[in-house]
Chain A
């Protein structure tokens, strides 16, 4: 039974939903309360909830350079969280309840379904322009020094564009005419001469700063990697709006040069090779890593091949800690010589926790999310088994598994025969042999039901390495007898340096 009060459907935001969307809203939205002074969402943290305030009010704050600024207030029937729900990126501001609030919560999956409705989308985008645009622009390093009034003066002059997957937004060599801010989705920049990927741009990042520099041409082809929404800020608009403030244009040009220098020099280390005189990876290795997009990964499971005795303990322990008894790790993958140790290593086929997760972008049901640490997690209840994530993953680390039978209270695998013989405690032990009868998919299984509600044919559940979430170890790392397996930034393997740190080192 729905917890949503009937008057909710009369709110302008939900008034023109089609019957299917209304049914989804009824089934999946929830009602929540927040006491005065409590924080809804915190700046810098991942939150994918879209909320509509029913009663009460809240204020938005942003902390910059140690100073907290009030950016705006939200009242009854206002909504927030569309940026996080759209892009799965950290919140740009903190939202705090001023009074006791009641609000409707839509998770990312539901929001994405509702966002397909034209009326809903128009209202959300309109409010985004009115309330959130200035906040969003402030996230971009290029506009960091602009004041709120200066950012507000840009509002009416920007275009909000949406592109399908695989669309080229800008072509190499053409004159750069605008700065783009990615609102959701992701874009890759590939050199048409060498075919190499020069960079990735995900939500909240900007490209096209070249238009403010002397160079002024696109360095590669900018192609969307998923359905992507961008804000286009034409350089003419910037020059026009700030015509009376030449200092602002100078500052923007200076910052643009700085950003481009960082992007192509120090930040990733990948471009060292094209800088004469600097030590860098060999072209073959660069080709393997960039071509196969390993550099996109935040953390890879690396096997030191000179230490691995091929005992299979890593895979066996992976099987042991997962109820479905399906290993999340495969001992195949790219073999390279580590720049850090000089020894041959293998980047095993296991989730890289990408900084630009194509699986998450491909999932239309909110079954893949980032947790507060930024790790990629599955929300199994939302998975409908559509396989979009497994086909989108560039490393092929996502596989499909038949789910346990609905209503089964025990793990769907056989107990080891001799353990069963132990009196009193024998039935407490789990074994390692999948019980095919129990694992077989049934029409009543959860994801089939979820899939049916959303009109998708289910092929099981998607699984990938979950870093042994909830356990005090990563089973493969914990159980390796020769310390051959470790999680590390693939960039460390390639360049011997580690400038990004997503996960703790073990």
Chain B
């Protein structure tokens, strides 16, 4: 299981938000939702916070698709390679000074390195990190120029999507007051829970699926299985050419994937043998069909694992879109009426 998917400071923040509201509800004796004696401040706070959390969740999705389409703003932050190389040369000069002892204070080194990046206009591309030299012969500080990752790596956004999505679901329930009444509020609550459940399923498959797939791919990877299947298909086609066309009907039936291939092959073999001496090429063809069947069943098993890792999105995404549309209508209707 990939536990890394769950290790994030976003989880702490999301938990704190939810815990804060629950503490408010219990300590203040507030009645959640719009039931009798409801607290307007609590209702508005849960509503607006949920909207804020949804915005973060949507931003992640938008970033993801912007990357796919190549329209992310940071994709346009390209610096000329010549300038990057000049900056690196300037950093080398600073490294030499550090090595020679002319620069020793951490703040001075950092300032000089940052200035070098700024001078060449690459401060948005690279950031400076200083590491203290630990081994004998190392400089007192190692000056590293690392990429800035301007808007954060996608796996941070993924964590944000996951944990703020869960927090939003809890807040929706608090906002609705645990009541599944018919009407917009009820539909939204049900949808929020449904989207969260599909998300849980997805995250379960994402955390366990890769290991299962890798384990399964130990002997035959998906790419190799595809190549092998194509190769066997060519060989089977050639083997069919060598067999009497009157036998094609029985043999072609074996090509469709079956779990009891061995049993069916035995039946076909005995049927053909009963008609007279074994025709040429049948044994070769049956052997090839057996191999093809084994490869295809392996390929199907691999596909099944892959499908599990991605199929949940077929439900999660439309449900989430529908929920967001309803959220927009809900917010509009609150202000309009």
A-side residues, CB < 8 A to B, are: 42, 44-45, 66, 305-311, 313, 316-317, 319-321, 332, 335, 344, 371-373, 377, 416, 419, 429-432, 469-475, 477-484, 504, 506
Contact = CB atoms under 8 A, between A and B. Distances in A.
B306 interface: yes
Contacts of B223: 332
Given A316-B68, A478-B149, 6 more contacts: A45-B92, A310-B213, A373-B85, A481-B157, A482-B5, A483-B4
A504 B146 contact: yes
B313 to A, nearest CB: 10
B154 A470 contact: no
A78 to B, nearest CB: 25
Contacts of B70: 319-321, 429-432
A95 B230 CA distance: 60
Contacts of B85: 371-373
A412 to B, nearest CB: 14
B202 to A, nearest CB: 10
9 contacts: A305-B210, A307-B4, A316-B67, A320-B70, A372-B92, A469-B81, A470-B80, A470-B125, A472-B147
B209 interface: yes
A472 B150 contact: yes
B155 A481 contact: yes
B267 interface: no
Q: Closest 9 CB pairs between A and B?
A: A320-B70, A305-B214, A481-B158, A472-B148, A470-B78, A483-B155, A472-B125, A306-B211, A372-B88
A432 B66 CA distance: 11
A439 B293 CA distance: 41
Contacts of B211: 306
Contact of A469 (B84, B145, B148): B84
Interface in B82-105: 84-85, 88-89, 92, 100
B69 A371 contact: no
Interface string B294-337: 00000000000010011000000000000000000000000000
A309 B210 contact: yes
Nearest to B89: A372
Contact of A470 (B84, B100, B144, B306): B84
Given A306-B2, A307-B210, A308-B210, A66 B75 contact: no
B64 A306 contact: no
A419 B84 contact: no
A373 B69 contact: no
Contacts of A469: 81, 84
B75 A320 contact: yes
A66 B137 CA distance: 13
Contacts of A506: 146-147, 149
B213 A471 contact: no
B75 A480 contact: no
B126 A472 contact: yes
Q: Which of A305, A306, A307, A469 has the most CB of B within 10 A?
A: A306
A34 B211 CA distance: 59
B155 A309 contact: no
Contacts of A308: 210
A477 B155 CA distance: 10
Contacts of B124: 472
B4 A482 contact: yes
B167 to A, nearest CB: 19
A363 B124 CA distance: 34
A371 B81 contact: yes
B131 to A, nearest CB: 10
A431 B69 CA distance: 6
Given A320-B70, A474-B147, A482 B79 contact: no
Interface in B48-81: 64, 67-72, 74-75, 77-81
B206 interface: yes
Q: How large is the interface on B (under 10, 10 to 19, 20 to 34, 35 or more residues)?
A: 35 or more
B153 interface: yes
A475 B151 CA distance: 12
A491 B310 CA distance: 33
Interface in B203-259: 206, 209-211, 213-214, 217, 221, 223
B92 A471 contact: no
Contacts of A478: 147, 149, 153-154
Contacts of A471: 74-75, 77-79, 125, 147
Given A307-B210, A481-B154, A481-B158, A473 B67 contact: no
Contacts of B210: 305-310, 482, 484
A472 B149 contact: yes
A473 B158 contact: no
B60 to A, nearest CB: 9
B245 to A, nearest CB: 40
Contact of B71 (A66, A316, A372, A430): A430
B155 A310 contact: no
A419 B71 contact: yes
Given A430-B70, A432-B70, A470 B79 contact: yes
Nearest to B146: A504
Contacts of B81: 371, 377, 469-470
A313 B148 contact: no
B67 A313 contact: yes
A475 to B, nearest CB: 8
B57 to A, nearest CB: 14
Contacts of B77: 471-472
Given A332-B223, A472-B147, A480-B154, A66 B214 contact: no
A313 B71 CA distance: 15
Given A344-B214, A373-B88, A416 B69 contact: yes
B290 to A, nearest CB: 27
A311 to B, nearest CB: 8
A483 B153 CA distance: 9
B307 to A, nearest CB: 11
A288 to B, nearest CB: 14
B286 to A, nearest CB: 32
Contacts of A44: 92
A66 B100 CA distance: 7
Contacts of A477: 153
Given A471-B77, A472-B126, A482-B5, A309 B209 contact: yes
A323 to B, nearest CB: 10
A54 B162 CA distance: 66
Contacts of A474: 147
Nearest to B74: A472
Contacts of A504: 129, 144-147
A482 B149 contact: no
A335 B209 CA distance: 18
B144 A310 contact: no
Nearest to B72: A320
Contacts of A317: 67-68
Nearest to A484: B210
A482 B75 contact: no
A483 to B, nearest CB: 4
A344 B212 CA distance: 12
